[in-house]
Amino acid sequence: MRRWRRTWGVLSAAVVTGLVLSGCAGPLRTVPAEIAEPGIDPDCLIGTWRQVEGWQRLTIDDGVFDIYFVENEVELTIADDGTATMSFDDARWIGTHPSLYSDVQVVYAGTGTLTYEATDGHFSQVSDFTGRIATVTVGDSEDVGPGSAGAEVDFTFRCSDTDLVMAVEGARVVYSRNRA
């Protein structure tokens, strides 16, 4: 149990603060992280997006492993005033812990806000995910933890009328424009 608590502490810190963006499930799941080319118009970002793919590489005491977005809703709404909101409707991510050989599941519920700057294909954000809860299950053990605030992350992005790809070393996320 002590090992699980130490692992949970490191895992939850990495997951809760860094799992805003990820990228690639389904047939693209084995594709390595591709950093989006800079030089993209930031006006394309404005609107509401629904996450369709995601992965993130996590580093913990016992090794490195990837978790993948598999189901439910993550909605990102980006305003032109430098703010954005995210809502998580039991968004589920899965992976396999490298040394425990157990499945890892992370489920997010709640909301978060971002402040951002977007220039020349670069998206820099500061997040407040104190309104988001992460439920992390490793094997038969489950722990629930609150989100965090103040995490700063710099991404590159590629945007079109229908798709948004955001990436950083070790993580990638893909969104489709929500037309609802």
Structural domain boundaries enclosing 163? 2-177
Which region among 17-26, 68-77, 79-88 has the lowest average model confidence (pLDDT)?
17-26
Residue 144: the pLDDT is 94
pTM, two decimals, is: 0.76
pLDDT at 35: 52
Give the CATH number for residue 94. Answer: 2.40.128.280
Is the pLDDT assigned to residue 17 strictly greater than 90?
A: no
Contact call for residues 68 and 93 (beta carbons, < 8 A): yes
In total, how many domains does the chain have?
A: 1
- What digits encode the pLDDT tens for the residues 81-130? 999 999 999 999 999 887 777 888 999 999 999 999 998 889 999 999 99
The whole-number pLDDT of residue 34 equals: 53
In DSSP notation, 22-50 reads ----GGGTTSPP-PPPS---GGGG-EEEE
Alpha carbon distance, N-terminus to C-terminus of the chain: 46
